[in-house]
Copies of this chain bind each other. A is one copy, B any other.
């Protein structure tokens, strides 16, 4: 079950909220980029960044010098992952909506110092983007690890919202001669584009070719 704290309980559209922790995992695990919100010098700052999940912990990373990570270390943050699945075209402008799945996680970010947990977090980040790549490409060197900050965020306080399906119009609008329905948005992987300087004879590995 997901928690219901004052900030994760949904004020509006409660029917779109899910309290199923598996929905949270599904939204997070199928995403590629999250939006990290921090308070920097008193104002909100939202940056897109990659992430990974291990159990009930989310991992973020970045250069030790990045402003957003410096502002997040030890501070309250908000991480949001959004999938846009389609546009919901109603008979009235007011009833228009979007089909989406989104997760919002609140908590205090923790700078990870334990070498094993750092490595687990980085592996999760890598595998979230490209499963199989961690065992294929060159692993981080000691110097590279020293330049990388890893942050952990507990999934204790999180909410999930999902909207699916057809438009919901006002009763009187169903008589209008207006087309209504859903325009789906489809995201797919394109054909891998080899680095122009890649030597001949290095084949595209299966885990990239067959990425779903």
**Taking beta carbons and an 8 Å cutoff, which residues of A are in contact with B?**
7, 11-12, 32-33, 35-48, 50, 63, 65-67, 76-80, 82, 84, 86-87, 89-94, 96, 98, 100, 102, 104, 106, 122, 126, 129-130, 133-134, 136-141, 144, 148, 166-167, 173-174, 176-198, 202-205, 208, 211
Contacts and interface: CB of A to CB of B under 8 A. Distances in A.
Nearest to A148: B94
Nearest to A196: B166
A171 to B, nearest CB: 12
A63 B181 contact: no
A175 to B, nearest CB: 9
A44 B37 contact: yes
B195 A137 contact: no
Contacts of A90: 137
Contacts of A141: 94
Contacts of A76: 42-44
